[in-house]
Amino acid sequence: MDETFRWLEINPACCNGRGWADTLYPFDRLPPGRGIEKYERLWQKSHLAAGIALVFETDSETIGIRWSQHEFEEEPGSFETRSANGFDLYAFDEIDGDWRWAGLTSGIRVSEADVFTLKRGHPLGRRRYLLYFPMQKTVKQAWLGINERAFFRFEPPRKDPPLLYYGTSLINGAFSSRPGLSLAARLAREFDCPLLNFGFAGSAEMQIEVAELIAELAPAAILVDVLQNLDLSLLPGRVVPFLKTVAAAHPDKPILVLENAMALAAFWRDGGGKAQMYWWNVYRRLFRKVRRDFPNLHYVSGLELMGIDRETGSDSVHANDIGFDRMFRALAGALRRVSPQFKPAVSAAEKRRRYLKHFE
Amino acid sequence: MDETFRWLEINPACCNGRGWADTLYPFDRLPPGRGIEKYERLWQKSHLAAGIALVFETDSETIGIRWSQHEFEEEPGSFETRSANGFDLYAFDEIDGDWRWAGLTSGIRVSEADVFTLKRGHPLGRRRYLLYFPMQKTVKQAWLGINERAFFRFEPPRKDPPLLYYGTSLINGAFSSRPGLSLAARLAREFDCPLLNFGFAGSAEMQIEVAELIAELAPAAILVDVLQNLDLSLLPGRVVPFLKTVAAAHPDKPILVLENAMALAAFWRDGGGKAQMYWWNVYRRLFRKVRRDFPNLHYVSGLELMGIDRETGSDSVHANDIGFDRMFRALAGALRRVSPQFKPAVSAAEKRRRYLKHFE
């Protein structure tokens, strides 16, 4: 097996998932000089590479990755190692006509000399690959390792309208088991559209500057899923101006406004559900004020968003893969209902037929 | 908040999940002197505490855990930290009338002086708790930390027939995000029965000695899910005698014999699905030979056991929480179909009604 690499630096301009070209650091998700810097935590989270993704074509037998990171003071956290730190690889499967999971880096990067192997083993011929960046790291530079004599081509980023998912730590990756299983990435694959991941852990607080930035983009649809970060005291001042700004800028695009799924820990508090319901109701009333003028706004209840069995996490508030799998199905359904644009390229029956072809 | 602990050693005799009392080490899953020792890897895996679970009642505000382990040479592996190393706590929820997740240890044990907190924060009154041991550790001794003046009572292990799940590394915990989300534990909670977890990573090879051990137990039902560990060359010699021995010993108990869900990596091999199908068919033919005499044997196809989207893992062969969630639903359905004993204590509609009560 050929494991000799030549290293190709990943050009940020080739990556999907970037809303602006003129960012402070190459893989940043928000631009400088637009008022975000004053929200220290949000500004810091905007440097994380969540949702950055690259498509390339190669016949390399082995694929590696090396990368360096900005040395910020990172928050200590229980962010699962491989979702936070891993690069995650999908390959295009001709039988399914879709991206299928192909490899994940393991281990923690210590220096940029560390080489991680994304794919080894069985040669897959010349093929397109989709590479997701880590959800919780500030990637400074990254290099793809390709066999010396292999064919290689970067695919330019997509120009069609992206799905824009504005959310909290959950959308910032906490805690899918790998980046490709993060909720926003799954929705984008399902509907075959590019993605702008606006998941900002602990800092998705409907700051008006974020609304103004979203207003200047051209998304296919917007999901707003920030209630877990919005203290009750912030709701009256923030919700209406934020939603108005976003909805007025995109009056013909579906905008889904989500209630949070209740934090698992809250079920153990006396009156925890009632307190959550009160919080949801305040939010819903504010939503309705804006909805009158903007019928493109759609409300999504949090009550059963992750099902009812409370097996959907491993800490007080974040989701596990089960929670995200259930949210994925709920939100894919919601998008299909509100817009004819969001239908899967192939029907469920056809997906199954293709799956079974692998065994013929 | 009271975080002063008195330490109560967990008596193995109080634990569920042990098939035999006279084991070499207290939390072993197989007994010595019965021919298992000659299978070195199986014998080693039988020391792991997968499926060991303890019920206790307390009003302690904080609950801690300390533990020591046998110093075996452990296999290096990518076993997810918290499933492999964590103790996982459920509490009985009166509204749901069921166990609900309440806390998980984080971090890696270095010495037995390390104290892990399972539950802190909001007091829950006097309540029953269900504690799962780590899936991939050999627990030598463990101590529960209970507040100085708190009430405490160990609940004796259940005497009713357990669900017995004989499986590979997947059943040994690879890779649910925590022990309580392991597939066998979820099935046992669903049907409110005790569990014998016979998941032995890389060594579930239908050794006849294992069949003889299963033959002397009194399970409510048996799942046999070992095909991933059975090389084609082993099938002809092992399957028939193993299944005959188990089925003859438990002729009136449902025995589900599962095909493996195909390894994700195998989809990328030319003819990978066909090779899998061939393997399944050899297995199915052998199964049918035994089934003629034992109608209590039931076959479960692996073809769609984890769905069809191949999002069910993060390595070549093991499952993630999504894979297990889907297997859980498939197997809970299969058990319900084959035996009237396996119906959930409450209907789906009643479960939902109770869930909604949290918000009233």
Q: CATH no. for residue B309?
A: 3.40.50.1110
Verify whether the Cβ–Cβ distance A104 to B314 is below 8 Å. Answer: yes
Tell me what pLDDT residue A82 has: 79
Please determine, for residue B100, whether its predicted confidence score (pLDDT) is greater than 90.
yes
Verify whether the Cβ–Cβ distance B360 to A186 is below 8 Å. Answer: no
Q: Is residue B49 part of a domain?
A: yes
pLDDT in tens, B155-205: 999 999 999 999 999 999 999 999 999 999 999 999 999 999 999 999 999
Q: Is residue A21 part of a domain?
A: yes
Dist. CA B344–CA B312, nearest whole Å? 26
Verify whether the Cβ–Cβ distance A121 to B310 is below 8 Å. Answer: no
Q: Is residue A307 part of a domain?
A: yes
Q: A110 and A182 share a domain?
A: no
Q: Stretch B231-245: mean pLDDT, rounded?
A: 97
Examine the fold and report which residue of A126, A154, A182 is the final residue of a domain before the chain moves on. A154
Verify whether the Cβ–Cβ distance A122 to B308 is below 8 Å. Answer: no
Q: B221 and B309 share a domain?
A: yes
Examine the fold and report which residue of A127, A154, A181 is the final residue of a domain before the chain moves on. A154
Alpha-carbon gap: A240 to the closest alpha carbon of chain B (Å): 26
Q: B149 and B171 share a domain?
A: no
∠ CA B209-B211-B214, nearest 5°, is: 110
Question: In a mutagenesis test of the A interface, which of B59, B88, B181, B311 is the best target, namely the one with the most A β-carbons within 10 Å?
Answer: B311
Tell me what pLDDT residue A113 has: 79
Verify whether the Cβ–Cβ distance A351 to B320 is below 8 Å. Answer: no
CATH label of the domain that carries residue A76: 2.60.120.260
Q: B12 and B132 share a domain?
A: yes
Give, for B333, the enclosing helix (H) or strand (E). helix B321-338
Tell me what pLDDT residue A77 has: 53
Judged by average pLDDT, the poorest of A64-73, B42-51, B303-312, B322-331 is A64-73
Q: A10 and A92 share a domain?
A: yes
Question: Nearest 5°: phi and psi at B37?
Answer: -55, -30
Enumerate the H helices of A191-320 as residue ranges. Answer: 208-215, 235-249, 272-291
Tell me what pLDDT residue B111 has: 78
Question: In a mutagenesis test of the A interface, which of B129, B324, B359, B360 is the best target, namely the one with the most A β-carbons within 10 Å?
Answer: B359
Examine the fold and report which residue of B154, B178, B201 is the final residue of a domain before the chain moves on. B154
Q: Stretch B287-304: mean pLDDT, rounded?
A: 98
- Look over chain A and give the mean of its residue pLDDT values, rounded to a whole number: 93
Q: Which domain holds residue A46?
A: 5-154
Chain A residues touching residue B322 (CB < 8 angstroms): 181, 321-322, 325
Please determine, for residue A73, whether its predicted confidence score (pLDDT) is greater than 60.
no
Chain A residues touching residue B91 (CB < 8 angstroms): 268
Q: A116 and A194 share a domain?
A: no
Tell me what pLDDT residue A147 has: 94
The confidence band for B72, taking pLDDT boundaries of 50, 70 and 90, is low
Q: Stretch B310-323: mean pLDDT, rounded?
A: 94
Q: A75 and A180 share a domain?
A: no
pLDDT in tens, B78-96: 556 778 889 999 999 999 9
Nearest C-alpha in A relative to B355: A308
Q: A101 and A207 share a domain?
A: no
Contact between B196 and B51 under an 8 Å Cβ cutoff? The reply is yes
Verify whether the Cβ–Cβ distance B178 to A124 is below 8 Å. Answer: no
Please determine, for residue B255, whether its predicted confidence score (pLDDT) is greater than 60.
yes
Q: Is residue A350 part of a domain?
A: no
Chain A residues touching residue B104 (CB < 8 angstroms): 314-315
Q: A74 and A174 share a domain?
A: no
Tell me what pLDDT residue A74 has: 60
pLDDT in tens, A289-343: 999 999 999 999 999 999 999 999 988 899 999 999 999 999 999 999 999 889 8
Alpha-carbon gap: B212 to the closest alpha carbon of chain A (Å): 35
| Count of the separate structural domains present in chain A | 2
Please determine, for residue B1, whether its predicted confidence score (pLDDT) is greater than 70.
no
- Look over chain B and give the mean of its residue pLDDT values, rounded to a whole number: 93
Tell me what pLDDT residue B279 has: 97
Please determine, for residue A76, whether its predicted confidence score (pLDDT) is greater than 60.
no
When CB atoms are compared, the residue of B81, B82, B268 closest to A122 is B268
Q: Is residue A167 part of a domain?
A: yes
The 10 Å Cβ neighbour count of residue B285 is: 11
Nearest C-alpha in B relative to A96: B309
Q: Is residue B358 part of a domain?
A: no
Enumerate the H helices of A132-234 as residue ranges. Answer: 183-190, 208-215
Contact between A175 and A319 under an 8 Å Cβ cutoff? The reply is yes
Q: A190 and A312 share a domain?
A: yes
Q: B148 and B167 share a domain?
A: no
Dist. CA A195–CA A53, nearest whole Å? 9
Q: Is residue B343 part of a domain?
A: no
Q: A222 and A281 share a domain?
A: yes
Q: Is residue A344 part of a domain?
A: no
Residues 6+ apart with CB under 8 A from B77: B84, B136
**Displacement of CA A285 from its chain's centroid (Å):** 28
Verify whether the Cβ–Cβ distance B82 to A314 is below 8 Å. Answer: yes
